[in-house]
């Protein structure tokens, strides 16, 4: 089986099974989450968490101010 087919199969199962209502503006974020998990699938859990924490330092999820 092709690696791309496996990745998209896991992505599809995750979107159907765990994340039921995914808005189209946020597809890239869910895709990035599954991409990170796939790329770090052979890494120990503690090391995966260290990689995740190091990559999110100084970032944030910013939404448009709805009061304007």
Domain spans, the chain:
3-56
- 26-35 CB contacts, 8 Å cutoff, 24+ apart: 34/7, 34/10, 35/7
Full-model pTM: 0.65
Answer yes or no: is pLDDT of 30 > 90. no
When pLDDT is cut at 50, 70 and 90, the band that residue 66 belongs to is low
* Per-residue pLDDT at 17 exceeds 90: no
Q: Which pair of structure tokens corresponds to residue 27?
A: 């597809």
Q: What is the pLDDT of residue 65?
A: 67
Extract the tokens encoding 32: 């990035």
What's the token pair of residue 55? 């990559």
């Amino acid at each position: 089986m092709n690696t791309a087919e496996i990745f998209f199969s896991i992505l599809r199962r995750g979107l159907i099974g765990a994340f039921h209502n995914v808005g189209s503006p946020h597809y890239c974020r869910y895709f990035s989450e599954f991409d990170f998990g796939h790329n770090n699938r052979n890494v120990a859990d503690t090391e995966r968490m260290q990689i995740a924490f190091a990559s999110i330092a100084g970032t944030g999820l910013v939404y448009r101010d709805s009061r304007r």
